Amino acid sequence: MDKEIKEKYLKAGRIAKKTLDMVKTKVKEGIKLADVTDFIEENIKKMGGGLAFPAQISVNNIAAHYAALFEDKTVFKKNDMVKIDIGVHIDGYIADTAITIIVGEKPDEKLERLSLASKEALDNALEIIKPGIEIREIGKIIQDTITKFGFSPVINLSGHGLERYQIHCKPSIPNFDNRTKEKLKEGQVIAIEPFATDGKGKIYESSNASVFSLIEEKPVRSRITREILREIKKYNRMPFSERRLMKKFGKGKTIIALKELMGRNLIQDYPPLPEINGGMISQWEHSVIIEKKPVVFTRDIN
């Protein structure tokens, strides 16, 4: 990998890690989810990073894709299982990383084990990765680790490749042994993200998305939508939240624009992903540059 590009990945990783370290102390009973969202997004910018996607704070049975609403009233309660998933980019080179926090002193023991299950699954996966390994082996060790804890991996969520300005690329990194023969290659950048649950091990797409991304650029008729589309283009086709648009343009205008853009298939939405049996979900995630000695650039001090 080009040295300058690698430096950009490392810097994105550094900012992401430091941000999550700070967030750990901020998620407490009685604190508003929206305030943590703003802290994360402002901190990333203050440190010189860009948002590769809006801060995702998904609670309990929601696995992912929850971004604070404009007037979000959610307040953290004791024993909430909170997944904080953040994406930082430098010049398009992305670090994607997540942690699970259980709210309150002396949290429920079962929840602690559920968090540990996906955390150990990630640690074990990071131990075995190297160029040439079959990707199914990563899935297998994730599945085996989580199953040993008595929980299930979420099988329809997976890790992924990272490319410039692109968050979900090939190869897909499964959270179970999917029996494909594909191998990891030197120079690839991937995110590994085991999800563990006490439910069935599957998520579904719910409704009322608050995260969107631009998929096609075409002229639009209404003045309001044109103005908001200009703002959306600044995200370089990476996901954005309605919250940020509403802060800038107000709620009414943003709703009109998003509706028109969705109707014309110029943007896509990412609805929250709940577990099908309402199971609790934990998630841990790191991003890695695949080299002879892989670089976990959202973890290692760099």
Rounded Cα gap, residues 35 and 241, in angstroms: 15
* 168 is a catalytic site residue: yes
* 286 is a catalytic site residue: no
* CA distances, 18 to each of 123, 131, 302 (Å): 19, 28, 11
Q: CB 201: neighbour CB atoms within 10 A? A: 25
For Mn ion (CB under 5 A), the number of binding residues is 6
Q: Which of 65, 89, 160, 286 is catalytic?
A: 160
**Side chain identity at residue 29, one-letter code:** E
Indicate the residue among 85 and 198 with the shorter CB distance to Mn ion. 85
Report phi then psi at 43, rounded to 5.
Answer: -65, -40
Indicate the residue among 122 and 257 with the shorter CB distance to Mn ion. 122
Any contact of residue 96 with Mn ion (CB under 5 A)?
A: yes
Any contact of residue 67 with Mn ion (CB under 5 A)?
A: no
Give the range of 103-111, 130-138, 193-201, 210-218 binding Mn ion by CB under 5 A: 193-201
Any contact of residue 84 with Mn ion (CB under 5 A)?
A: no
Q: Which of 41, 80, 85, 260 is catalytic?
A: 85
Q: Which of 7, 168, 177, 291 is catalytic?
A: 168
* 227 is a catalytic site residue: no
Q: Which of 17, 19, 60, 85 binds Mn ion (CB under 5 A)?
A: 85
Give the range of 22-30, 119-127, 185-193, 214-222 binding Mn ion by CB under 5 A: 185-193
Cis ω before 171 (30° cut-off from 0): yes
Q: Is 207 helix (H, G, I), strand (E, B) or coil?
A: coil
Indicate the residue among 167 and 228 with the shorter CB distance to Mn ion. 167
3-state helix, strand, coil in the chain (%, to 5): 35, 25, 40
Indicate the residue among 65 and 244 with the shorter CB distance to Mn ion. 65
Rounded Cα gap, residues 197 and 278, in angstroms: 9
CB 96 within 8 A of CB 167: yes
Q: Would you tell me which residues interact with Mn ion (CB under 5 A)?
A: 85, 96, 98, 191, 193, 285
Active site residues: 85, 96, 160, 168, 193, 285
